[in-house]
Amino acid sequence: MDERRFTRLFPTELEHEILATLGQLALTRTALVCRRFRDMSVALLFRHIACGCVYVDGKGVAVYGRLHKSYKAVLRVLDDVTLGRHVRYLDVFASLLCGRASGGLAPPLTTNELQTVWSSMPGLVALSIPDIPVGRDIGLKHVDFPRLQRLRLDQPDSCIEFVQRHLPKLQHLRLPFGIEASLDWDPSGAALVHYEGPYHLLSQLLRADAHAHSLESCEIIVEIGLGIPPTLATLARHQNLRHLCIRFDLAVGRAPVLEMIRDCPPFTGLESLEINFDEAGEVEVTTDPPWSQLMRPFPAARYIVAYTDLSRKVANQRGLAWAQEIAETCKDALIVVLSHNGFSRAGPGFDWVADANSDAAIDPSLNPPVVHPVPG
């Protein structure tokens, strides 16, 4: 068969589907084959821009790495704004665009240049901008992404109007601790599936009694400095919640945690729990954590990570007994990590054993990032 005839009849959609399975390095090579492959490869290369990459090694284990020059793709968009129409997922450190980091970078982009870059991406679905310099206007104030569903901003106070404008569309929102501005939730629009940020902001949505079945994963930062610890009772009604991480703005110990869960009904669907009640106080804690009380609201948890108010050495000595005690409440528990000491169930007797790689067995899909790493 004539090669040109075959190429002409081969469905473009199938070619695109095949190329979409390739990693970044392979796409840079297919872009050199011919003009048609170049156009499709470039579109796929700019579709997903991220700071991290992942590949599966020979043992079937996912290996993660950093892409230190991925920000240059954003600079390329500034040179040719037509490339922006391909971008769907974008994860970029703002400091690399704003010139704060060192290493022979290009001159910092101005606010107007940043706005030009963002405005060229009408199809953007997920946006992650960590490491925003304090007080820096990154040009988002007047930008609208009609299809935006997932958002991470580590310094959102300078563009809170942007966050507020997109809030009704978002399914995944990540905000930092210490955000000064407040958000006006719209119960008729917000349908968050994943939330990471201050608990007092999420509580505004919970009080609105909206979309009680939408939330699937939640990482909350509880600000003890605001007064009495808030209850988790309103969060427990989210029956589809599968992952919960509880952190505090201060080293608090176990007492505030116990207060938060005192009147809390069971989280019946929760599979993954991370809780941090580490304490940096002057009084040394000597008693074991009251695991039966701490785990009472989470009977269905299978993956449990806890940072305790006892030393790592003590956690190492008593960890196996603690894992067994936790399993008396969480009967389906498979993995327990206690202050970096991992334990898992193994063998015919399903007994608890020390396992240095136990945390790698925790299902990452329970707590997805705003922008996934690109395939390597």
Answer yes or no: do 176 and 80 share one domain: no
Answer yes or no: do 143 and 186 share one domain: no
* CB-based contacts of 283, cutoff 8 Å, min separation 6: none
Q: What range does the domain containing 143 cover?
A: 50-170
Q: Is there a domain that residue 376 lies in?
A: no
Answer yes or no: do 137 and 165 share one domain: yes
139 Ramachandran zone, left/alpha/beta (phi>0; psi -120 to 50): left
Tell how many helices (H) and how many strands (E) occur in the chain: 13, 16
Answer yes or no: do 332 and 198 share one domain: yes
What pLDDT, on a 0 to 100 scale, did the predictor assign at position 352?
Answer: 92
Task: Report how far residue 176's alpha carbon sits from residue 132's, in angstroms, rounded to the nearest whole number.
Answer: 11
Answer yes or no: do 127 and 271 share one domain: no
Answer yes or no: do 23 and 103 share one domain: no
Angle at alpha carbon of residue 79, lines to 19 and 122, rounded to 5°: 65
Answer yes or no: do 160 and 276 share one domain: no
pLDDT per residue over 250-260, tens digit each? 767 788 888 88
Global confidence as pTM: 0.86
Ranges of residues in the chain with a pLDDT under 70 are 1-10, 99-106, 186-190, 207-212, 225-229, 251, 279-285
Task: Report how far residue 152's alpha carbon sits from residue 70's, in angstroms, rounded to the nearest whole number.
Answer: 17
Q: How far is CA 82 from CA 79, 245, 274, in A?
A: 9, 40, 43
Task: Report how far residue 356's alpha carbon sits from residue 319's, in angstroms, rounded to the nearest whole number.
Answer: 12
Beta bridge partners of 337: 305, 342
Task: Report how far residue 336's alpha carbon sits from residue 283's, in angstroms, rounded to the nearest whole number.
Answer: 27
Which candidate, 129, 184, 132, places its Cα nearest to that of 151?
129
pLDDT per residue over 97-115, tens digit each? 886 544 545 678 899 999 9
What pLDDT, on a 0 to 100 scale, did the predictor assign at position 6?
Answer: 45
Q: Is there a domain that residue 283 lies in?
A: yes
Task: Report how far residue 140's alpha carbon sits from residue 159's, in angstroms, rounded to the nearest whole number.
Answer: 6
What pLDDT, on a 0 to 100 scale, did the predictor assign at position 36?
Answer: 80
* Burial state string for 234-246 with b = 16 or more CB within 10 A and e = fewer than 16: bbbebeebbbbbb
* CB-based contacts of 254, cutoff 8 Å, min separation 6: 277, 279, 289, 290, 294, 308, 309
Task: Report how far residue 70's alpha carbon sits from residue 33's, in angstroms, rounded to the nearest whole number.
Answer: 23
Q: Is there a domain that residue 318 lies in?
A: yes
Answer yes or no: do 123 and 19 share one domain: no
Answer yes or no: do 9 and 23 share one domain: yes
Which candidate, 350, 348, 342, places its Cα nearest to that of 322?
342
What pLDDT, on a 0 to 100 scale, did the predictor assign at position 292?
Answer: 94
What pLDDT, on a 0 to 100 scale, did the predictor assign at position 207?
Answer: 62
Answer yes or no: do 143 and 289 share one domain: no
